[in-house]
Amino acid sequence: MYFFRKKDPNRPINFNLRVMHWINRIAIIMFLAGVIYKIIDLLTRK
């Protein structure tokens, strides 16, 4: 039940965890941008 627990207000905010989440967001956005670029490149290559 790790993913479905409520946030504990008494738990301190971990800076490293916050940075890791931002890096993951940037990586996912860059991956999706690359996939979209490749799809557009394949469609317009005709």
Consecutive sets of 10 residues in the chain, 46 residues long: mean pLDDT of each? 70 83 95 98 88
**Can you tell me the distance from the alpha carbon of 37 to that of 35, in angstroms, rounded to the nearest whole number?**
5
**Can you tell me the distance from the alpha carbon of 26 to that of 2, in angstroms, rounded to the nearest whole number?**
24
User: pTM surpassing 0.75?
Assistant: no
| Rounded to 5°, angle at Cα 42 from 34 and 36 | 25
DSSP-derived letter for residue 11 is S
Q: What is the pLDDT of residue 39?
A: 97
Q: What is the pLDDT of residue 2?
A: 64
3-state helix, strand, coil in the chain (%, to 5): 65, 0, 35
Question: How far is C-alpha 43 from the chain's CA centre?
Answer: 26
